[in-house]
Each structure stands twice: as C-alpha cells, then as structure tokens.
A and B are shown apart, each in its own frame.
Chain A
Amino acid sequence: MDRRRNFLPLAGFLVCLLAFVSYFVLFYRFPVTRDVPWANWLLFALGLGLVVAGVRRPFRQPERYRGRWTGATLALLSLLVAGFFAFVTMVGSRQLPASAGAPKVGQKAPDFVLPDPSGRPVRLYDLLGGTAGGAGGAGGTGVAGGVGRASWVVLIFYRGYW
C-alpha cells in the first residue's frame, strides 16, 4: 500500500483560481483581453483539464493514487469558481439602466458646469467651438465662430470610485 499523493486536482484548482483573479488584476486592463475574457477561459480550460485528469487517476488506478474525495471536492470547487466567473462577466456586468432619457444623436447635449480637479468650474459649452451660445445659438456653423476654432468634445462618463 504505497500509494502516491495526487496533486493534479489541487494544481487544477489553483489554476482555476488564477484564471479568476487574473482578470481583475491583469487582463481587465487591456481591451483585447477585457471585452472578451478569452485569456481567462483558456486558463479555466487548462485548470479544469488538470482537475478532470486528477479526479480520474485515483478511480482508474486506485492501487497507485490516493485522494478520491479530495479530488472530487476540488473539482466541485473549481467548477464553482468557473461558474462564478461566467456569472460575473456575462450577467453581472450587464445590469445597466436603460437610460431612455439620455440625449440621442441629433439632439442637443445638455449643458452643465462642474469643477475640475483644482476646483475650477468648467462649462461644457465653453469647450465647444465658437458658437457656444447655449440654447438657440446653433445658427452658426462652428467654423464661422469668432475664435475660428471648431472644437468637438468627446464626453465620457465613468463609473468612478477608483
């Protein structure tokens, strides 16, 4: 009865944990690996593959390997981690409001004044080109404006709470 320890399920489980965590500490930073988390699913495939191989060993060769219950438990945990990752990235991040009242293409962007990091108030329409006369001031072409610079603005809203 000199059976060997079976490290494969544990290794697979750890790879699954890495697959989960690496999205939030590394792959989230790059659009290529963020929009579709393919790098993480590759890691999950590797991890689950190790787990499956590790669970089969003590069942197929009970005289050589120990750890049936440990392997099965780690397999279940690995599946839970993968399932949680799928939920977070496919369901959790899609819980967004309809924003039916957001300005649509062709509509005026509502003006606002907000402080920049130094506390200085900044008005959206002051950043736009020449004709920023506010409501009704859209008669100009932007080019003809006094300053002569037709500036567009890319307005980005972030979730914040960095």
Chain B
Amino acid sequence: MAVSVDPPQVTQKHLAKMGWTYTFLADPQDQAIRRYDLVDPEAGQGIARPAEFLIDPTGTVRWLDLTDDFRVRTRPETVLATFDRLAAGGGTGGGR
C-alpha cells in the first residue's frame, strides 16, 4: 500500500500510466504523512520523504527504511526477502 500527497485524481492518472495495482491512497492534507513524521520541508508543498514500512498483522512495525538519499529506495526483492525472514522466524503467524 502506498501514500502520497497527491489528490486522488492525480493518483488515479499515475496508476493508470504506471500500471500499478496496489492500494494507493491520497493524503493531500498530510494527515498520515505528519503522523509518521515524514514531511520533507525542503521539498515543500507537504511532500513526504520517501519511506517504507513493513507492518505485521498486529499493526507492529517490523522493518523500515528511511533512506538518506531520495534517489535510493528499497527494492522490492529486499522487502520480500525481509518479509520471508520475519514471517518465518518471527512467530507472528506468517501468512502471505
């Protein structure tokens, strides 16, 4: 699931263009972005710094990546490997 500051219409266009199918939420008021303390003042306009969280079924953060360079993001395979490791060894259930 993803969040950005863009309004729903912009998000919809972008998803259609990129072919992304995961849940993509719009946060034009910065509600979630502020609760997670991710507002990037340098970027302005309420833009979030890039961040990724892996949340287990109880709502607990099990892994996160707050990159120090917005060009460098977590790759999908890294998240999947982390999930496999945590879900197998973490004893939290482990469904997919």
Q: Which residues of A contact B (CB under 8 A)?
A: 28, 31, 34-35, 89, 93-97, 99-112, 114-119, 122, 124-125, 127-132, 137-138, 140-143, 145, 149-162
Contact size range, B = 35 or more
Q: Contact check: which of A93, A112, A130, A159 meets B57 at CB < 8 Å?
A: A130
Q: Contacts of B63 on A, CB cut-off 8 Å?
A: 105
Contacts of B35 in A (CB 8 A): 110, 112
Bound Cα distance from A42 to B80, whole angstroms: 32
**Which B residue's beta carbon lies closest to that of A94?**
B69
B66 near A: Cβ within 8 Å? yes
Q: Are B92 and A132 in contact (CB under 8 A)?
A: no
- Give the chain B neighbours of A103 by CB distance below 8 A: 36, 53, 61, 64
Cα A124 to Cα B82 with chains together (Å): 20
- Which A residue's beta carbon lies closest to that of B10? A162
> Do residues A150 and B14 form an inter-chain contact, with CB atoms below 8 A?
no
Cα separation A89 to B63 with both chains bound (whole Å): 26
Q: Which residues of B contact A152 (CB under 8 A)?
A: 54-57, 62, 83, 87, 95
Quick one: given A129-B95, A141-B93, are A160 and B6 in contact (CB under 8 Å)? yes
The answer to whether B68 and A162 touch across the interface, beta carbons within 8 angstroms, is no
- Smallest Cβ-Cβ distance to A114: which chain B residue: B25
A158 near B59 with CB under 8 A, answer: no
Instruction: Report which of B5, B6, B24, B37 forms a contact with A102, defined as CB distance below 8 A.
Output: B37
Q: A116-B25, A159-B49 are in contact. Are A99 and B60 (CB under 8 A)?
A: no
Min CB–CB distance B9 → chain A (angstroms): 8
Complex Cα distance, B41 from A32, in Å, reads: 28
Q: Which residues of A contact B53 (CB under 8 A)?
A: 103, 109, 154-156
Q: Is the CB of A99 within 8 A of B66?
A: yes
A160 touches B5 (CB 8 A): yes
Determine if B57 and A142 form an interchain contact, defined as CB atoms under 8 angstroms apart. Answer: yes
Q: Which of A95, A130, A154, A158 contacts B50 (CB 8 A)?
A: A158
